[in-house]
Amino acid sequence: MKHLLNALGPALFALTLLLPPGLHAEEPTPAETPRQLPRVVILATGGTIAGAGASAANSATYQAARVPVEQLLAGVPQLAELAAVRGEQVLQLASESFGNEQLLALGRRVAELAENPEVEGIVITHGTDTLEETAYFLTLVERTDKPIVLVGSMRPGTALSADGALNLYNAVAVAGNPQARGKGVLVTLNDEIHSGRDVSKALNIKTEAFKSPWGPLGMVVEGKSYWFRLPAKRHTLNSEFDIRQIASLPRVDIAYAYGNLDDTAYRAFAGAGARAIVHAGTGNGSVAAPVVPALRALRKEGLQIIRASRADQGGFVLRNAEQPDDQYDWLVAHDLNPQKARILAMVALSKTQDSRELQRIFWEY
Ligand code: DAS
């Protein structure tokens, strides 16, 4: 009998494959328990990703900050496969018009959501012009390891080959991914995942607009994240700053350096109440000789002077290399570009005025 069954076994198995579905002899698969989708909140602030042009050919001529968050979400129904999403319209602005008040208000709303146990991730749709500043600000002051992902687009949704829908899909995929926890605030555009600290807008007309001098952290492709690096600088849970303890941000300005420079801009910023001036210096944060006396005088009046580099592939400014920073009691921004140095200076000055402490902060963040 045993030999008979062994001989007939394969034939009998093959027969079961011919049966109509549901009549197979195998055990019925257990009913698929619906996967608990991560709960992701999308905070909309405006920008091109919410922009609209007159025609599909208008990829560069359009109005930013026109499309409400409900319409953004309705335009990407596939988000429902990734997460349980809901939207909030916190602002509707082109991001070049963000002020410190908008930054603080957005930061406070993010902190509230991050504390909510029914929120697993946060996406912020944002204009690309100052996205890098908001991303760095949040990475400094949000005390959470939950994914906070900023996303924008280079073309409005009305344009041919618009990039916003896929950028938003990718951002929600990353924000709902537990692997994205603890990596600081992130920025996703053009299939790349960047650190909110490192990334900046390097091109103003291409979809590959955002670059990080030390490279992206990873890629997101078809809703899956692939990680290759981790941030090395302090951020979020490991930060000493907390949005809930920052009532206001001091005025910090940026003076751009070039040939034939004089001290007009620096004195004007000081007269307007700046607490620090970021010198966007040529090369290694160099300071033109005619400007040095004014900067030394302003330092003596209590302003902080921060040497950064205007180099567009990112700077690397070290103390006492181009200028006697120890003697002048000036600070250096290290690898931060001028606009990022301004963000860190504002946050740091909300905590300390001490130069040595400030320089430590520039090394660590
Ligand atoms: N004006 C730009 C801004 O809102 C548009 C954009 O690129 O998002 O940042």
Residue with tokens 């801009």: 265
Cα(301) to ligand 1 centroid in Å equals 37
CB atoms within 10 A of CB 234: 18
Per-domain boundaries in the chain: 39-52+64-238, 251-364
Question: pTM for the full model?
Answer: 0.90
Total number of residues shown for the chain: 365
- pLDDT in the model for residue 28: 47
Tell me which residue has its CA closest to atom 7 in ligand 1.
Answer: 128
Domain 39-52+64-238, what architecture?
Answer: 3-Layer(aba) Sandwich (3.40)
The 10s digit of each residue's pLDDT in 276-310 is 999 999 999 999 999 999 999 999 999 999 999 99
Structure tokens, 183: 């990596």
User: Ligand 1 test: best mutation among 72, 96, 200, most atoms within 8 Å of CB?
Assistant: 96
CA of residue 1 to ligand 1 center, whole Å: 79
DSSP secondary structure string, 68-108? -HHHHHHT-TTHHHH-EEEEEEEEEE-GGG--HHHHHHHHH
Domains 39-52+64-238 and 251-364 alike in fold: yes
Q: Tell me, yes or no, if 48 is annotated catalytic.
A: yes
Q: Give the model confidence (pLDDT) of 130-156 as tens digits.
A: 999 999 999 999 999 999 999 999 999
Residues 138 and 331: their CA atoms lie apart, in Å, by 23
pLDDT band at 322 (very low <50, low <70, confident <90, very high): confident
Contacts of 140 by beta carbon, 8 Å cutoff, 6+ apart: 235, 239, 241, 343, 344, 347, 365
Residue 79 zone, left/alpha/beta (φ > 0; ψ -120 to 50; rest) = alpha
CA distance linking residue 303 with residue 217, whole number of Å:
36
- What's the CATH fold of domain 251-364? Rossmann fold (3.40.50)
**pLDDT value of position 15:** 47
* Distance from the alpha carbon of residue 130 to the mean position of ligand 1, in angstroms: 8
Which residues line ligand 1 at a C-beta cut-off of 6 Å?
47-48, 64, 94-96, 127-129, 152
